[in-house]
């Protein structure tokens, strides 16, 4: 009985593909072992060894196919669960815009002044810098983000609303809610990293790698 080079390469490829499904095993260590063993046994002359290798390959293909199928099913399930959790999380952490204050144009005074800073002589000639004053609170917003006067007017009002929201609503302001959500996400990511590191450390101790 003889085996072809194609069969050997297929077996090698299947083993490398299988390494991607490992969760609690060092993938790099597994791949190094596979490469090392293939190099040591790249030539088989004994007919019994060849027969055993082919039977092992057939068995392994069946196991890998089953494991890959299981992995795909579990992966799809996990994706569905993660999508559900993400949507649930999004619902829990939806930003509340109901308390955002509204501004009355009658409470504003608006001036247009010449801009300053980099951008050429056109910046200093055009009066596109917006100075917005909120009369009830005395808050002054100066906006020269864009060369367009209309865009600066809109951004100045958005900045004023954000400022008022922060003063009036404090921790319930939109900006504070965004910061809180980001902090919670960061804590969850760090917690998962810590857990993965602990699992890996326990595995290394169990396998005698450290």
Contacts for 101 with CB less than 8 Å, ≥ 6 apart: 161, 164, 165, 168
The pLDDT, as a whole number, for residue 59 is: 53
Strand-pair partners of 110: 132
Q: pLDDT-derived band of residue 10, with 50, 70 and 90 as boundaries?
A: confident
Average pLDDT over residues 106-129: 73
The pLDDT, as a whole number, for residue 162 is: 93
76-80 long-range contacts (CB < 8 A, ≥24 apart) are none
pTM over 0.85: no
Q: Residue 88 pLDDT more than 50?
A: no
Q: pLDDT-derived band of residue 165, with 50, 70 and 90 as boundaries?
A: very high
Q: pLDDT-derived band of residue 91, with 50, 70 and 90 as boundaries?
A: very low
Average pLDDT over residues 3-15: 73
Q: Residue 122 pLDDT more than 50?
A: yes
Residue 118 or 172, more confident:
172
Report the CATH architecture of 105-172.
2-Layer Sandwich (3.30)
Rounded to the nearest 5 percent, the helix, strand and coil shares of the chain are 65, 10, 25
Average pLDDT over residues 15-39: 76
């Amino acid at each position: 009985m003889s085996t072809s080079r194609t069969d050997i390469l297929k077996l090698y490829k299947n083993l490398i593909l299988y390494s991607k499904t490992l969760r609690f095993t060092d993938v790099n260590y597994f791949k190094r072992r596979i490469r090392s063993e293939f190099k040591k046994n790249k030539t088989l002359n004994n007919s019994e060894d060849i027969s055993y290798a082919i039977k092992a390959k057939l068995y392994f293909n069946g196991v890998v196919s089953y494991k890959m199928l299981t992995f795909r099913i579990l992966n799809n399930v996990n994706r569905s669960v993660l999508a559900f959790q993400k949507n649930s999380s999004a619902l829990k952490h939806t930003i509340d815009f109901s308390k955002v204050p509204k501004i009355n144009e009658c409470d504003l005074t608006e001036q247009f002044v010449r801009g300053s800073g980099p951008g050429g002589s056109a910046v200093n000639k055009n009066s596109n810098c917006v100075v917005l004053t909120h009369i009830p609170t005395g808050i002054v917003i100066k906006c020269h983000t864009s060369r367009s006067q209309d865009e600066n007017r809109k951004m100045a009002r958005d900045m004023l609303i954000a400022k008022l929201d922060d003063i009036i609503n404090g921790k319930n302001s939109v900006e504070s809610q965004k910061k809180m959500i980001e902090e919670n996400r960061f804590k969850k990511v760090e917690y998962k990293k810590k857990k993965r590191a602990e699992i890996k450390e326990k595995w290394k101790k169990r396998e005698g790698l450290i």
